């Protein structure tokens, strides 16, 4: 098998079913095949086909009976013999380390204690953040589902980030909700001059949506 290209797409399919990324699949195959490992373009070609619902693991028509896989037969093996079940991954904004999770919980608890002592503590606050809005076609529920054993926790995955296109968004909000969203125009860089204009627009948005807030007090 090491001297033939035949069969490597089955390995790609198997690792893809385990929810491995393209780079992870390539890494695992390089450990086994070394210099005979299929190229990156071949690996991603098959991943794209599987994501599109491609139902055969053969590349081109070949003589003899077709080598296809049966969903029903595979499902029976996984459920009855291996005791596995198919579940949907739980979306999370990003994957955090244990120390990061502990730190965030501690900060949140501290802020809760402050808010209980001073119920209006957060009222003057207006905060903001920047994020990239990526353009991509999200996978269907079936495409994001995966197999797990009964004793295993439901898998999680960070939100997908694609490179088809993106826009920078600057979002400002307070305790009542979002006040303003500013989308950075194409081919424009955020600098001091641009941000000054954003803050001016924010001031007008606060005046319009949070009447009386500017005169009372605002902490940005």
Which of the pair, 3 or 95, is modelled with greater confidence?
Answer: 95
Query: Considering the entire predicted model, what is its pTM?
Result: 0.47
pLDDT at 3: 37
Band of residue 89 on the pLDDT scale cut at 50, 70, 90: low
**Among 59, 28, 51, 40, CA closest to 162:** 51
Domain ranges of the chain: 8-69, 92-216
For the residues 193-218, what does the mean pLDDT come to? 91
Question: Phi-psi bin for 83: left (phi > 0), alpha (psi -120 to 50), beta?
Answer: left
- Map residue 90 onto helix, strand or coil: strand
Q: Which helix (H) or strand (E) element contains residue 148?
A: strand 145-149
pLDDT at 130: 92
Q: Which fold has domain 8-69?
A: Arc Repressor Mutant, subunit A (1.10.10)
Which of the pair, 154 or 134, is modelled with greater confidence?
Answer: 134
Residue 104 predicted with pLDDT over 80: yes
Band of residue 47 on the pLDDT scale cut at 50, 70, 90: confident
- Tell me whether strands 145-149 and 177-183 are parallel, antiparallel or unpaired: unpaired
pLDDT at 28: 83
Residue 161 predicted with pLDDT over 70: no
Mind listing the pLDDT tens digit for each residue in 3-31? 344 567 888 888 888 888 888 888 888 88
Residue 75 predicted with pLDDT over 50: yes
For the residues 37-54, what does the mean pLDDT come to? 82
């Amino acid at each position: 098998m090491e001297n033939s290209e035949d069969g490597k797409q089955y390995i790609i399919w198997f690792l893809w079913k385990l929810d491995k990324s393209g780079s992870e699949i390539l890494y695992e195959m390089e450990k086994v095949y070394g210099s005979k490992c299929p190229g990156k373009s071949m690996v991603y070609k098959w991943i794209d086909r599987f994501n599109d619902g491609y139902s055969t693991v053969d590349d081109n028509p070949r003589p003899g009976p077709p080598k296809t896989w049966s969903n029903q037969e595979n499902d029976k093996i996984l459920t009855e013999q291996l005791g596995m079940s198919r579940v949907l991954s739980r979306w999370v904004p990003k994957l955090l380390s244990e120390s990061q999770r502990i730190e965030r919980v501690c900060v949140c608890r501290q802020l809760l204690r402050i808010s209980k002592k001073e119920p209006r503590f957060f009222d003057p606050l207006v905060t903001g953040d920047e994020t990239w809005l990526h353009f991509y076609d999200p996978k269907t529920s079936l495409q994001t589902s995966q197999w797990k054993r009964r004793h295993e926790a439901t898998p999680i995955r960070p939100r997908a980030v694609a490179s088809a296109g993106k826009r920078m968004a600057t979002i400002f909000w307070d305790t009542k909700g979002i006040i303003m969203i500013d989308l950075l125009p194409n081919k424009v860089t955020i600098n001091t001059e641009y941000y000054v204009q954003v803050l001016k627009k924010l001031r007008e948005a606060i005046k319009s949506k949070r009447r009386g807030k500017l005169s009372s007090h605002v902490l940005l």
